[in-house]
Structure 1
Amino acid sequence: MRRTVVVGLVAAIAATSASVAEASAALGLTRPASTPTTAAPAQPVTERPDRISAALAARLQGSRVLITGETTETTLSYAEPNGSFTLEANPAPVRVQRDGAWQAIDTTLIQRDGAWAPKVAKAEVEISAGGGQAPLVKLERSDTESFALNWPTALPAPTIEGNKATYIDAAGPGADLVVTALATGFRHDVVLRERPSGPVEYKLAVESENLTLAESKAGGLTLTNEDGKKVAAASPPVMYEAATDQPAPEATAQAPVAIDTQVVNEGGQQLLILTPDAEFLADPATQYPVVVDPTTTLGVSSDIFVRSDQADSTGGDYLKVGSPNNGTTKIRSYLKFNVAPIVGKHVISAEMRLWNMDSGSCDPGYGVIARRVIGAWEQSSLTWANQPTAYATGETTVKTAYGASGSCVANWMRFPITNITQAWSAGSPNNGVQLRGASETDIRSYRVFHSTNFDVVGTTPRPPALTVNYNSYPATATTVTGGAVTGIDKVAYTGATPALYAAAADADARTQTRLDFEVSTLAGSVLWRGSSASVSAGT
């Protein structure tokens, strides 16, 4: 008698995505028909406007394709030949859209309409060409919102170097006024080349349209619009020995000192008044030059560092971690990337890279730790004393060191942060990454990196970046069947060679989807596994 095979049937179905091919002629990848001579090989497609066409082109030619329709000021998206996608993100804008085309930010100053301005920047900034009429610096957010600072005396013509305009002796004998164009605004400093003869004070008249300058609770400066929304922020102004702002270990420099800062109204005129600490300036131990009031305007920086010997956070050209003096001063950096495109996606791998231009030693020592930050933070209020919590679970430690000497020249320091990025993808708040020395008392863990604002004349900027390779989770397969009949004992009965069916679906339109099947007993013992051929999603 023929016996019917009885098994408990459990179909476990997963879908794997890969780009489906369309007619290559539509992408311009085929040779012309009926030509008597051999045509030159078609050039690879480097970009397409949407995800579908980019995925198809990448699959056909075997190389990645930029999805131009998804480009933003801080992110690029690519379709990969294997059907996955890659997000490349920076902490702050590195490109802007001008006349319908994306242009890389270039803050080199050029003359424009009788003033100096950055070639390409997110912020519309005008810097004085000298004289007593135009503001020292003006920033326009829109046709209806602007902010400007006026120097109290006529200015000499500036000396231009890269993105910096220097007005020699404009702040007094031996005191230069320096304005630096940034991607999202500007910074203005007074550089005291020599010790002043007595106390100094600087008053800058504020001109604004539909924007209000005010002191923050943390002692910094904020710029708000008519709706009360903060559109710009700056850390509490400080002054420091110029050596402190250099990449090399600043073991001999004194800690930065806060500046008495006031925003007042005198006779209907709003003034920003800066009073440097007279004792610090007169102290014989203070090394000159001294930089007064590094104030950054417009936008909140998403890469910053804090120091144990300083009351506020520090931006500028560099990010730093570890200790330059074996524990006397401790430094940590914070970075935040736009990861909105990967939320809810399957993160395959993720790497954060920073250009390591200097280290305490070519010996990496205990290395540098990257941790996921679980508390919110802003550049304008971040200090050593109020750092957000950083989660040790999923942290990664990298033991490489570059830039200390010719034996370990500057290079990318790469942090595999797949675990951290997967947490963001799964819905954990994106509060960025904390970088800290694995030992904060050993100079070998000291590192200096390029920041997003890095702009040193003669040196190519290499901003921090995050690269994430990901894919969409396929939808749960539906209409699972094995052509079986369910008996009164609730067990599916079928023949010895059952046929399994399911409808495939995938979030990435026009991709191919493979169905993985598994047959097991009711007790969970796997009897068989197999996969379907790749089919178009929805079939």
Structure 2
Amino acid sequence: MSSSFRSFCRYFAIIISFCLIFSLVGPNFTKAAPGVTGRTPKKQTVKADIGDIPNKLPKNKLELTSKRTKYSTRYLHPDGSFSEDIFLDPQFYQDPSDKKWKKIDNTLKVSKTKAGKLENTANEVKTWLADQAGTGDLASIEKDGKSVSFVPVQAKSVKGSIKGNEITYPEIYTDTDVRYRIEGDMLKEDLILQQYHQNTFTFELKADGVKPVVGKDGTISFTDSKGNKVWYFKNLFMTDANGKYSDKVNLKLHEEKGKTYVDVVADENFLKDPKTKYPVTIDPSIDTWDVQHDNFISTGYPDSYAFSPTYMMTGYHSVNGTTRSLVQFYLPSIPSDSIIQSANFNAYQTKTDATNSTIDLYRITSNWNGMSHGTHSRPLATSGIRQ
């Protein structure tokens, strides 16, 4: 690991290229087709488990949409090889009308069914956001007839500013903006403090088909009637304008007069510290219980793990110490006769504190949980660089 520090946008992809030991047409294809034995007439079409393929090689890279999964898709290349693009965040959803996997589109549009609301364009997790705060539910998420809604207490009536998949409500509290962004299945919320005014923000929770439950580790999840977890609040954190980080942000669940509330409580010492540079962003995001296996750990916070930020850290950081990023992908199945030619890991660099630094990639060799590892309990990894 280099001594420099780098921050990466939390949008990862791994591309695996593989070549089947048969070609698209001709005897080799027929011979290697899985599940087929004996001789096959030349004109008989034999399908391997690689998706819908054309009779001729494409001139350009062609997506085999029948092989999409929630996190991946497959491509056929002009040379007869195939590749899988595998993502860390959900990219596709299965349309219940035709059972086909379609591209997620979380772009906000005016809702045709709910007055005064905006909704994401295409996703199995439906999200509604008010076009104006102070008029009831500010944000709602729904899946399979279950839903959770949030109503900010004592919020001002302000018009939201829309940009793609996000909306910002300026000055919804004194010196504080609220921004929502839909990423994959997650509803990401940011409380943006322009200067210190308060450290506690209260939201009323409205749940239908689920109920909030506080786990032994303090995590608040939403479970259905069978006890299955549907959504959960990710671990909270906050950062200042210089990237100074603190995980001293807590959620407190309580009930008053038959209503359920959650308080977002940020550490006053961090907010009042003269070294803290505003604006400060607090992140209380909610996601589906499809536990992501990615986080970054640091020697500066050896008992903590950061899987909520939209970035990952690696290298040395003046506040966090030595940091490492941990990533695990949901890998799709590929034909058993495939020969892996190459695999590429792609990440987007958003910040660096050094030039000409090198990031090494290692294989994790032990089981790990993206929600429970700090540097004191980090998983085992190979000793050599993965070439």
After TM superposition, the score normalised by the length of structure 2 is 0.76
Does 1:306 pair with 2:297? yes
- Give the match for residue 331 of structure 1: 323
Q: Does 1:88 align with 2:85?
A: yes
1:109-128 equivalence runs, <5 A: 109-113=108-112, 114-128=116-130
CA distance in 1 between counterparts of 2:362 and 2:83 reads: 21
Tell me how far apart the structure 1 counterparts of residues 361 and 151 of structure 2 sit (CA, whole Å): 44
Is 1:352 matched with 2:333?
A: no
- Counterpart position of 1:320: 313
1:148 aligned residue: 149
**Partner residue, 1:450:** none
Asked if the contact 2:307/2:370 (under 8 Å) is kept, the reply is no
**RMSD of the TM alignment (CA)?**
3.2
Partner residue of 1:57?
55
Q: Secondary structure at the match of 1:371?
A: coil
On the 8 A contact 1:19/1:55 being kept in 2, the answer is no
Task: Give the whole-Å Cα distance in 2 for the aligned partners of 1:106 and 1:53.
Answer: 23
State the one-letter code of the partner of 2:74.
Answer: S
* Higher strand proportion: 2
- Counterpart Cα distance in 1 of 2:177 and 2:267: 18
Instruction: Give per-residue Cα distances to partners, 1:428-464, cap 9 Å, x unaligned.
Output: xxxxxxxxxxxxxxxxxxxxxxxxxxxxxxxxxxxxx
- Distance in 1 (alpha carbons) for counterparts of 2:335 and 2:26: 29
Shift, 1:256, TM fit = 0.8
Compute the displacement of 1:372 (Å).
2.2
The CA deviation at 1:344 is 5.8
Residue equivalent to 1:40: none
Name the aligned partner's letter for residue 392 of structure 1: T
- Equivalent residue number for residue 65 of structure 2: 68
Q: Which residue among 123, 126, 138 is the counterpart of 2:140?
A: 138
SS class of match (2:242): helix
Against the structure 1 CA distance between its residues 359 and 20, is the aligned structure 2 distance closer, same or farther, given a 3 Å change threshold? same
Deviation of 1:393 after TM superposition, in Å, equals 5.1
**Contact 1:186–1:298 at 8 Å: present in 2 too?**
no
Aligned counterpart in structure 2 of residue 17 of structure 1, from 21, 27, 34: 21
Paired-residue identity, %: 20
> Which residue is 2:275 aligned to?
285
Instruction: Quote the residue 1:207 is aligned against.
Output: 206
Partner of 1:57, secondary structure, is coil
Please say if residues 54 and 79 of structure 1, whose CA atoms lie closer than 8 Å, have aligned partners that are also in contact: no
Q: Distance in 2 between matches of 1:64 and 1:178?
A: 38
Instruction: Give the 3 Å change call, closer, same or farther, for CA 85–133 of structure 1 in structure 2.
Output: same
Whole-angstrom CA distance in 2 between matches of 1:317 and 1:346: 34
Return the alpha-carbon distance in structure 2 between the equivalents of residues 21 and 343 of structure 1: 17
Structure 2 matches for 1:187-206, cutoff 5 A? Answer: 187-196=188-197, 199-206=198-205
Q: Which residue of 2 aligns with 1:165?
A: 167
User: How many angstroms apart in 2 are the aligned matches of 1:123 and 1:235?
Assistant: 17
Show the 5 A alignment for 1:415-430: 416=387
Distance 1:158 1:61 in 2: 46
Asked whether the 8 Å contact 1:55–1:83 carries over to 2, the reply is no
Shift in Å, 1:184: 0.7
Ranges in structure 1 where 5+ consecutive residues have no aligned partner? 1-15, 24-48, 245-252, 397-415, 417-539
- Gapped regions of structure 2 (runs ≥ 5): 1-19, 28-46
Residue identity matched to 2:55: A
1:91–1:374: structure 2 CA closer, same or farther, 3 Å change rule?
same
Could you say which residue in structure 1 is the equivalent of 2:39?
none
Residue 382 of structure 1 deviates from its aligned partner by: 4.0
Contact 2:235–2:308 at 8 Å: present in 1 too?
A: no
Q: 1:296 maps to which residue? A: 286
Higher relative contact order (CA 8 A, sep 6+): 2
Q: Secondary structure at the residue paired with 1:390?
A: coil
- Of 222, 228, 251, the match for 1:261: 251
Q: Which is greater in Rg?
A: 1
Following superposition, the deviation at residue 304 of structure 1 comes to 3.0
Per the normalisation by structure 1, the TM-score is: 0.56
